[in-house]
Amino acid sequence: MKRGTLPLTALRAFEATMRHGQMRLAADELGVTHGAISRQVRGLEDMLGVVLFEGPRNRLAPSEAALALQPALTEAFDGIETAIERIVARERRVIDVSCTSTLAMRWLIPQLVHFQAEHPEIEIRLTADHGPVDFSRHSFDVAIRVGAGPWPDGAVLELFPDRVGPVLSPKLLPLVEAGTVLDVPLLHTSTRPDAWPDWCRQTGLPDPDGGRVFEHFYFMLEAATAGLGAAIAPDVLIRDDLAAGRLVAPFGFHPSGLSYVALSPPRACRDAETFVAWLAVRAELLPQA
C-alpha cells in the first residue's frame, strides 16, 4: 500500500485499541466515541482484507495479523510524536533532561540556579528516570545516567567517576569501631542490589547477609541518616550529609568502576549542547571527597 493511500485515522484507532486492549479506552485517548473506533477498525479490515479482531463482540481478541501489525505502527507513531516534541522544544528554547532521581535531588537541581543565571533564555524541563536510553524512542534532549556502558549512539560526556563507600549515622559508629561494618544492619536498594557484595569483595570481607531493601535510593539514604543501618552510597550524593554531620563515612570512598555520564542524541540541538557543556564545567568544580 502506497503512502498516499494509507488510512491514517483507521490505523491510529487500531493501534490505540491494541495498546490499551479495549476500544473504549482507545476512544477516550483519541477523543471519539466507541462506535467511531469500531467503524474505523472494521473499515481497516475491509481495506486490508484481513480479520484484525476475533471472538464475541464483548470479548474481542487480536488476530495474528493484528499482532504482526501493531508493533510497527506503535514504533512509527512514537517516532512521529518524538520528532514533533523535539521541534516544538527547539522553538520554545526548552531542553528536556532525564536524570536519575537521587542525583537530580542531591546534585543537579541545586546546580540549576547557576544555569538559569547564565542562560535565562533556556528552560530546563526535568524528569526522573534511571532506565536505558534510546533516543529513537525518547523525546528528551539530554540524559544523565550512571553505569559502564555501552551507551546509545550520540555524544557521551563523562561527568565524574562513581566513588562509593559505607555511610551511617554517627550514633552507629561505636558498633563499627568495636567490630566491623557488618555488625550493624545493612541497607540495600533495589536499583543497586550488588552494592554491598561488590564492596565486601573489594575489601576482603565475607559476603553480607540480610538487611533491609528499599525501592528508591533516597529512601535508603534517609534510613541511614535516621540510624537504621549502614548503606553503600556515592560520595556525590551525600556531601551535604557528611558536612552537616548527619552521616559519617569511616572507610572513605573508592571507585566502583562506573561513571556518571551526560548523553545526547546525534544532531542534538544547540541549546542541548550548551547545557552539556555547562554540566562539564559544574562537574569539574566537584571536589574529591
Q: Of 258, 276, 164, whose CA–CA distance to 217 is shortest?
A: 164
CATH ID of 162-258, from 3.30.360.10, 3.30.70.1150, 3.40.50.300, 3.40.190.10 = 3.40.190.10
pTM of the entire predicted model:
0.66
Residue 286 scores a pLDDT above 60: yes
pLDDT at 169: 97
Q: Which residue has the higher pLDDT, 286 or 43?
A: 43
For residue 93, what pLDDT band results from cuts at 50, 70 and 90? confident
Residue 89 scores a pLDDT above 70: no
Q: Where are the domains of the chain?
A: 3-87, 94-154+265-277, 162-258
Find where cell 555511610 sits.
167
All cell numbers assigned to 15 = 493501534
For the chain, the C-alpha Rg in angstroms (whole number) is: 25
Report the alpha-carbon distance of residue 204 to residue 281 in Å, rounded.
37
pLDDT at 90: 62
CATH domain 3-87 topology: Arc Repressor Mutant, subunit A (1.10.10)
Q: Of 199, 200, 241, whose CA–CA distance to 220 is shortest?
A: 241
Decide: 144 and 262 in contact? Cβ < 8 Å. Answer: yes
14-70 pLDDT, tens digit per residue, is 999 999 998 999 999 999 998 999 999 999 999 999 999 988 776 789 999 999 999
Within this chain, domains 3-87 and 162-258 share the same CATH topology? no
99-141 pLDDT, tens digit per residue, is 999 999 999 999 999 999 999 989 999 999 888 888 888 788 9
CATH ID of 94-154+265-277, from 3.40.190.10, 3.20.20.60, 3.30.930.10, 3.40.50.10490 = 3.40.190.10
Residue 289 scores a pLDDT above 60: no
Which long-range contacts does 113-116 make (Cβ < 8 Å, 24+ apart)?
A: 114/278, 114/282, 115/275, 115/278
Side-chain-side CA neighbours of 238 within 13 Å: the count stands at 30
Most confident region among 3-17, 55-69, 161-175, 260-274 by mean pLDDT: 161-175
CA end-to-end distance (rounded Å), the chain? 62
pLDDT at 85: 74
Phi, psi (rounded to 5 degrees) for 30: -90, -5
Report the alpha-carbon distance of residue 151 to residue 154 in Å, rounded.
8
Report the alpha-carbon distance of residue 275 to residue 142 in Å, rounded.
8
For residue 288, what pLDDT band results from cuts at 50, 70 and 90? low
pLDDT at 99: 96
pLDDT at 149: 80
Report the alpha-carbon distance of residue 56 to residue 204 in Å, rounded.
64
Q: How confident is the model over 62-91, as a mean pLDDT?
A: 85
All cell numbers assigned to 101 = 532521581
Q: Which three-class secondary structure state does DSSP give residue 72?
A: helix
pLDDT at 267: 83
pLDDT at 91: 61
207-262 pLDDT, tens digit per residue, is 888 899 999 999 999 999 999 999 999 999 999 999 999 999 999 999 999 999 99
pLDDT at 279: 96
